[in-house]
Amino acid sequence: ITNRPGKEKVAREIAAKVKDGDVLGVGSGSTVYLALIAIAERVKNEGLNIKAISTSLEISMFCSKLGIPQTTLYEHQPYWLFDGADEVGPGNGLIKGRGGALFKEKLLLASSPLNYIIVDESKQVERLGQNFPIPVEVFPQALPLVANELKKLGAEDIKLRPAKGKDGPVITENNNLILDCRFHHIPTSLEKDIKSITGVIESGLFLGYDVHIMVAGNSL
Ligand code: DER
């Protein structure tokens, strides 16, 4: 676990931004988890009337447990969103998806007019891709084709993400597989190039999105 004080601090800061009546896009991961605990305290103490749109079953179940009402993109657009990240690189490029929720995380982020990425200092990198692979969500039978095309794009190490607690690979909440891909060089075109491969559902590479990075106390 990376240094918790940074995560807890930025989780409290994002919780302080919540306003009565907000519809919130809620990302996934342990930093978001801490933020939800802080938000739930405010809901209880101040009677805040908010709604959350979750990006994973785990977060949806946690919102239910905390008593945070939920809605969906059918009924509401988020007023703003908060989410974590695995890496924050130059120009606010992100790698996300360690938690396997990358499709709905990118859907919610693309649907939200204002996006906060909450991280501790351990997530900031000089070069995107230096610590984490790029997760690519793949329609199962497209695996051979997608792996081949990713190699052509420069992927150096492609691993099918193994499940824990069951034999075989991780199966996402959209019934797809995840290939974790190492790229030494990440050109600005890479997100779109990956997405254009037939059989790719989405990737955890976020380039050129309008995101506000919050790092444990200093908003960049
Ligand atoms: O999977 C994700 O994209 C999550 O946001 C994740 O990368 C951040 O998780 P953490 O807050 O537990 O580090």
pLDDT tens digits, one per residue of 89-102: 999 999 999 999 99
* Residue whose CA lies nearest to ligand 1 atom number 2: 97
Q: Is the CB of 31 under 6 A from ligand 1?
A: yes
Q: Which of 87, 105, 191, 202 is catalytic?
A: 105
Give this prediction's pTM: 0.95
Q: What is the mean pLDDT of residues 191-214?
A: 98
How many whole angstroms from 162 Cα to the centroid of ligand 1? Answer: 18
Q: Which atom of ligand 1 is nearest to the CA of 30?
A: 12
pLDDT tens for each residue of 165-178: 999 999 999 999 99
Alpha-carbon dihedral angle through residues 112, 114, 120, 124, given to the nearest 10 degrees:
90
Q: ipTM of this predicted complex?
A: 0.97
- Compute, in angstroms, the gap from residue 99 CA to the centroid of ligand 1: 6
Kindly state if the Cβ of 56 falls inside 6 Å of ligand 1. no
105 counts as catalytic: yes
> Residue 101 Cα, ligand 1 centroid: separation in angstroms?
9
